[in-house]
């Protein structure tokens, strides 16, 4: 029986805690008596037979939906869309759950005589997936059957001839999605719900959308009004997507949603990485030796080699659930399954929130974790891993550990370089950035060209990363990066500290002496269900 996540109060006997630190680790001793560590739950049991569970889900849909096979008929247009390279993190070992689901859907489509099938990577404004990445996601069999005929491809949000405008929400939000999907008799969306932000109407309304549509919820105000975007019911991001989902439905778009959840088995139960999934005070001598050997080896390796080692890691996730059918009914169950793995109740907020940022974020798979992604991962994703209230109090301090090197992947992140060099050199204020620079980057022909023909994130994407972090930036009184490259950290508008102890000293200038500290021991993923006593 896997143990759930929990909160450890740090005392004098608590050993140093592992902080992820990019392509490496730091061991940090947290002050006793006022620190606590939020541990993720142990991996939930995986489904014994994921394929059978998939077939069962297709045949027993949730909500107001017929089984998939009843929706399939000869002569129909079927479009299968799937989550892109940004999920899951790290990528999962083969077979990827998307492959399993897509194969099951194709089996039923073939049985029903459906022969007009397109498969689309729903990547919105993310970079295009390479052939290897597509093969990894959908499997060789599917890839070889569809890609050579141009029937398996990446969504292109800048292909204006192949985008369909479907209307506006009562809030004036324009809804525009991939034309092939919009003109299909049925969209089957294949999702991986790694965190509670994923899925639901966001799959189609965001994954297949264009800048024209995305700008209505990928903006500063929406992010500031999402408390947090990991909690759908408190998230303006999701309210906007749900409104767009209604426009899609009213326009006659029929979506059969298939959502899957994964357990926390990120680093496995054997091999050196498995120690990262254990709680430090439970390490035996072998675990300690393994960790120290691994750390020493990594510390001596050149960055490129370390990056190659980490990026090659494929997680042995187990599939914990598969839901299919009507979007909202499916997503309610999916979210509960995500919470069952990740949610941990935490009493009261903290003065100082610490986090060790790993080597990967949704936007640097097989790539470089540049400083903007560091900010996004820490103040966007990790900070928002809460329900109820942020883990850190208003005006508190967020301390993030990451090397934050001034380095960018020139192919994947060209507009990030310009954003970092030109925009952040001018201002770090999200609203000012949005007002003065977003349109220019979003409509830049060169970025468009690279997004469409190379493997570049869209020109506007670094802005979204910055917006993702704006709730955290507005909430925190100070952000400190431990062990980061000082000039990069300064460019982000944060403070730099060499050690955690220095950072805690700096934090005291903001939150006072002897602050309470909470460490988010992430990954594997953990989400805080913060309970704040009412006065």
Partner 1 sequence: MKALVFSRKPARYAAAMVAGALRPGKGARFGPLTLRDVDPPEPPNAAASAGSNNNDDWVRVRPRLSGICGSDLATIDGKSSRYFEPIVSFPFTPGHEVVGELDDSSRVVVVPVLNCAVRGIDPPCDMCAMGRINVCERTAFGCLEPGLQAGFCESTGGGWSTSMIAHRSQLVPIPDDLSDEAAVLVEPTACAVHAARHFGDSEVAVIGAGALGLLTIAALSYFDEIAPGRLVATAKHPDQRFWAKELGADVVCAPGELDRVVRTLSGSMVLDNGQLSCGFDAVIDCVGSEDSLAQALRIVAPGGTIHMVGMPGVTTVDLTPLWYREVQLRGVYAYDHHDEHGDDFATAIELVRDKDLGRLVSALYPLARYEDAIEHAANAGVRGAVKIAFDLRDERERKR
Q: Site residues (CB under 8 A) for partner 1?
A: 417-418, 421-422, 425-426, 440-441, 444-446, 449
Nearest residue to 499 (alpha-carbon basis) of 58, 28, 143: 28
Please report how close the Cβ of residue 127 comes to partner 1 at its closest, in angstroms: 17
Please state the φ and ψ torsions of residue 361, each to the nearest 5 degrees. Answer: -135, 175
Name which of 200 and 371 has its Cβ closer to partner 1. Answer: 371
Cβ-Cβ contacts under 8 Å for 483 (sequence gap 6 or more) = 21, 26, 401, 402, 403, 497, 498, 499
Nearer to partner 1, 45 or 425 (CB): 425
DSSP conformation letters of 158-210 = T-GGGEEEEEE-TT--EEEEEHHHHTSSEEEEEEE-SSTTSSTHHHHHHHTB-
Closer CB to partner 1, 162 or 440, in the complex: 440
Nearer to partner 1, 115 or 443 (CB): 443
Q: CA-CA distance, 58 to 446, in Å (whole number)?
A: 43
Q: Pick the closer one to partner 1 by CB: 92 or 368.
A: 368
CB of 426 to partner 1, least distance (A): 8
Tell me whether residue 274 or residue 440 sits nearer to partner 1 (CB atom): 440
Shortest Å, Cβ 421 to partner 1: 5
Rank residues 301 and 417 by Cβ distance to partner 1 and give the closer one. 417
Q: What's the closest the beta carbon of residue 368 comes to partner 1, in angstroms?
A: 17
When the beta carbons of 65 and 370 are compared against partner 1, the nearer one is 370
- Kindly state the smallest distance separating residue 444's Cβ from partner 1, in Å: 6
**Phi and psi at residue 330, in whole multiples of 5°?**
-60, -45
Secondary structure (3-state) at 430: helix
Count of CA atoms in the C-beta half-sphere (13 A) of 508: 8
Shortest distance, position 508 Cβ to partner 1, whole Å: 29
Would you state the torsion angle of the CA atoms of residues 66, 70, 71, 74, taken in this order, to the nearest 10 degrees? 180
Q: What's the closest the beta carbon of residue 440 comes to partner 1, in angstroms?
A: 7
CB of 398 to partner 1, least distance (A): 28
CB of 372 to partner 1, least distance (A): 15
51's tokens: 């394929």
* Buried/exposed code over 210-233 (b: 16+ C-beta within 10 A; e: otherwise): bbbbbbbbbbbebbbbbbbbbbbe
How far is it, in rounded angstroms, from Cα 38 to Cα 343?
10
| Residue 431 Cβ vs partner 1, minimum distance, rounded to whole Å | 19
Cα gap 323→62, rounded to integer Å: 7
- Token duo for residue 493: 């508008």
139 vs 414, beta carbon nearer partner 1: 414
Residue placing its CB nearer to partner 1 in the complex, 368 or 385: 368
261 sits in which H/E element: strand 255-262
The size of the chain, in residues, is 535
Question: 332 vs 407, which CB is nearer to partner 1?
Answer: 407
CA distance 420 to 284: 44
Distances (CA, A) of 51 to 58, 156, 315, 329, 431: 11, 31, 19, 21, 47
For the CB of residue 324, give the shortest distance to partner 1 in the complex, in Å: 44
């Amino acid at each position: 029986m896997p143990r759930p996540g929990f909160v450890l109060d740090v005392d004098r006997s608590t050993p140093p805690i592992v902080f992820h630190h990019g392509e490496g680790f730091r061991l940090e001793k947290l002050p006793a008596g006022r620190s606590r560590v939020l541990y993720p739950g142990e991996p939930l049991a995986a489904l014994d037979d994921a394929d059978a569970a998939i077939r069962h889900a297709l045949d027993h849909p949730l909500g107001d939906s017929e089984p998939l096979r009843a929706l399939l008929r000869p002569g129909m247009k079927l479009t299968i869309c799937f989550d892109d390279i940004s999920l899951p993190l790290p990528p999962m070992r083969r077979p990827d759950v998307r492959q399993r689901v897509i194969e099951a859907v194709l089996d039923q489509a073939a049985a029903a005589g459906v022969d007009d099938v397109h498969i689309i990577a729903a990547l919105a404004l993310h970079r295009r997936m390479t052939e290897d990445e597509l093969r990894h996601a959908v499997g060789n069999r599917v890839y070889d059957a569809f890609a050579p005929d141009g029937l398996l491809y990446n969504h292109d949000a800048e292909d204006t001839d192949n985008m369909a405008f479907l209307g506006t929400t009562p809030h004036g939000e324009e809804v525009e999605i991939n034309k092939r999907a919009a003109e299909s008799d049925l969209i089957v969306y294949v999702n991986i719900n790694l965190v509670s932000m994923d899925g639901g109407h966001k799959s189609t309304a965001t994954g297949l959308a264009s800048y024209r549509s995305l700008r209505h919820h990928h903006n500063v105000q929406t992010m500031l009004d999402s408390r947090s975007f990991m909690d759908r019911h408190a998230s303006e991001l999701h309210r906007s997507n749900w409104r767009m989902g209604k426009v899609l439905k009213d326009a006659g778009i029929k979506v059969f949603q298939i959502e899957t959840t994964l357990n926390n088995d990120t680093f496995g139960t054997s091999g050196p990485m498995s120690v990262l999934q254990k709680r430090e005070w439970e390490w035996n001598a072998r675990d300690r030796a393994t960790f120290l050997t691994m750390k020493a080896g990594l510390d001596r390796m050149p960055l490129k080699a370390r990056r190659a080692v980490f990026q090659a890691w494929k997680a042995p996730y187990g599939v914990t659930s598969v839901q299919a059918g009507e979007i909202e009914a499916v997503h309610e169950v999916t979210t509960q399954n995500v919470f069952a793995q990740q949610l941990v109740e935490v009493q009261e907020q903290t003065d100082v929130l610490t986090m060790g940022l790993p080597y990967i974020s949704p936007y640097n798979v097989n790539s470089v974790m540049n400083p903007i992604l560091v900010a996004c991962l820490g103040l966007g994703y990790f900070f928002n891993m809460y329900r109820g209230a942020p883990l850190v109090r208003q005006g508190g301090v967020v301390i993030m550990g990451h090397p934050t090197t001034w380095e960018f992947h020139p192919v994947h992140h060209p507009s990030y370089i310009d954003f970092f060099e030109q925009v952040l050199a001018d201002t770090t204020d999200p609203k000012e950035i949005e007002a003065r620079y977003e349109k220019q980057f979003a409509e830049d022909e060169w970025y468009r060209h690279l997004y469409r023909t190379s493997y570049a994130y869209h020109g506007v994407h670094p802005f979204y990363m910055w917006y993702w972090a704006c709730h955290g930036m507005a909430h925190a009184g100070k952000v400190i990066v431990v062990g980061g490259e000082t000039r990069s950290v300064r460019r982000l508008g944060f403070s730099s500290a060499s050690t955690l102890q220095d950072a805690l000293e700096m934090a005291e200038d903001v939150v006072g002496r002897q602050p309470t500290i909470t460490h988010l021991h992430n990954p594997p993923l953990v989400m805080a269900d913060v309970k704040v006593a009412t006065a």
